A and B are shown apart, each in its own frame.
Chain A
Amino acid sequence: MIALLKRDLTLAFRAGGGFGLGLAFFLIVTVLVPFSVGPQSSLLSTIAPGVLWLGALLACLLSLDRLLALDWEDGSLDLLATAPLPLESVVTIKALAHWITTGLPLVLAAPVLGVLLNLPVPGFFWLVVSLALGTPALSVIGTFGAALTVGLKRGGLLLSLLVLPLYVPTLIFGAEVARRGATGMETATPLLMLAGITAATIALLPFASAAVLRVNLR
């Protein structure tokens, strides 16, 4: 398992792995927002938590179609499926690698982009907390979507259509934590719900992803 994680991380960090693309996308989305809604700082600070969450979510989505497709193309997915490691662990490790290369950088970059959007000071802490808790769920759900569409030639757009509705609960609770945090309100309830969603998806969804992947590999 560790070896697989190392392999995935190495592939992502080395040239052509696309590491940093998601981060650059996140930056661009954040920069484009003031152009589209106007530069008033009061407006920007109101929408900052939601925009940053949406940007992180889209950046996450952007890198999903590479998650399994590259391994599918060069045949290493078949090898992984026949390896002694259960497929459930394989997809969990894949999701973890995706989170380390996409989710974690987004979490770390979010405060910097928060400055650009004039995020209120108490919001920074809650933004980072909510993203740190929520992005693992995004990776796991995304792995399920990637497993569903892995055999398709033009799966990219379909992947978005399938995954985005599944992202709704995570987005609602995650953005709610950030928004409440920014306005100084109580954040415990949405935070617990967000943590619950993340824990449940990590616990259950790999089984669905592995089942779907087996169908696609047969």
Chain B
Amino acid sequence: MSIASKANALWEYANPKKFLTTTERVLPFFWISSAVFIVVGLVWGFFFTPDDYKQGSTVKIIYLHVPSALMAINCWIMMLATSLVWLVRRHHVSALAARAAAPVGIVMTLIALATGAIWGQPMWGTWWAWDPRLTSFLILFLFYLGYVALWEAIEDPDTAADLTSVLCLVGSVFAFLSRYAVNFWNQGLHQGASVMRVGAVTGTDTEEKVSNIFFFPLLVCIIGFVLLFIALVFYRTGTEIRARRIKALIARERVNG
């Protein structure tokens, strides 16, 4: 099969029926494998890795913190991609997938923020600091809230899909901008504060500094979270499609009756 025909095959899933039958077939696989990966990763991480020599056992929250933070960002990127597909090709499944993913993203952001706070308390001596990374995550959370609120506020589904898609595009630019603006702002505010420096060293994105002993269970957890995210989005998109169908059936009934 050539690349072009393979790319065309992807668009078949824009058909809600095709999407539903396929996802129903693969969903059990995603549920079970994500559960296996997360359980194995967490058990491995919690019970079979040594304590960090400086951080003690608190380091183990990394197995929840890093995957959820990763998925919180990836979820927004997925929403951006599906919004673009909706705006360009007008596939309803795409818009519904973006709608279905947003609450998952909110929960992932909350998990990342909460575990970060729990980690930060013993490590930095504070639940919250206006560290650039923490702050930009909070801003991402606000973007998610606005996005979901706009979906909920508009009655007509196509209008809602259009408006939220544009909001997602514009919001992405501003979220990206905020990420770097926040970096700038904090350096201007507290130059070289020690809490921030510790944060940068033990921070989540310095994975190359994480020892291999911790890295492999972390990798398993990340894979598990990716699978869980896919399963949740498939499942929720299916629900959205069915809800839309019920609405259409009711409307048809009213017209005929």
B181 touches A165 (CB 8 A): no
B145 touches A161 (CB 8 A): yes
List of B residues within 8 angstroms of A218 by Cβ: 159
- Judge whether B174 is part of the interface by a CB distance below 8 angstroms: yes
**Interface residues contributed by chain B, number (CB under 8 Å):** 26
List of A residues within 8 angstroms of B167 by Cβ: 148, 162
**Interface residues contributed by chain A, number (CB under 8 Å):** 30
Nearest CB in chain B to that of A162: its residue:
B146
The B-contacting residues of A in range 199-218, CB under 8 angstroms, are 205, 208, 211-212, 215-216, 218
Nearest CB in chain A to that of B156: its residue:
A151
Nearest CB in chain A to that of B136: its residue:
A168
Known: A162-B149, A176-B184, A176-B188. A169 touches B174 (CB 8 A): yes
List of B residues within 8 angstroms of A173 by Cβ: 181, 184
A158 touches B139 (CB 8 A): no
A165 touches B188 (CB 8 A): no
Q: Chain B 139-177 against A: per-residue CB contact (8 Å), 1 yes, 0 no? A: 100110110011001100001001100110111001101
- Judge whether B223 is part of the interface by a CB distance below 8 angstroms: no
- Judge whether B178 is part of the interface by a CB distance below 8 angstroms: yes
Majority DSSP secondary structure for residues of A touching B: helix
A165 touches B171 (CB 8 A): yes
B171 touches A166 (CB 8 A): yes
- Judge whether A43 is part of the interface by a CB distance below 8 angstroms: no
List of A residues within 8 angstroms of B40 by Cβ: none
B174 touches A162 (CB 8 A): no
- The smallest beta-carbon distance between A212 and chain B, in angstroms, is 5
- Judge whether B185 is part of the interface by a CB distance below 8 angstroms: yes
The one of A152, A172, A215 in contact with B185, judged by C-beta atoms closer than 8 angstroms, is: A172
- A151-B154, A161-B149, A169-B177 known; 16 new pairs, CB 8 Å cut-off, are A144-B170, A148-B166, A148-B167, A162-B146, A165-B142, A165-B146, A169-B174, A169-B181, A172-B184, A180-B188, A190-B188, A205-B170, A211-B166, A212-B162, A212-B166, A216-B163
By a beta-carbon cutoff of 8 Å, the part of chain A in contact with chain B is: 144, 148-149, 151-152, 155, 158, 161-162, 164-166, 168-169, 172-173, 176, 179-180, 189-190, 193, 197, 205, 208, 211-212, 215-216, 218
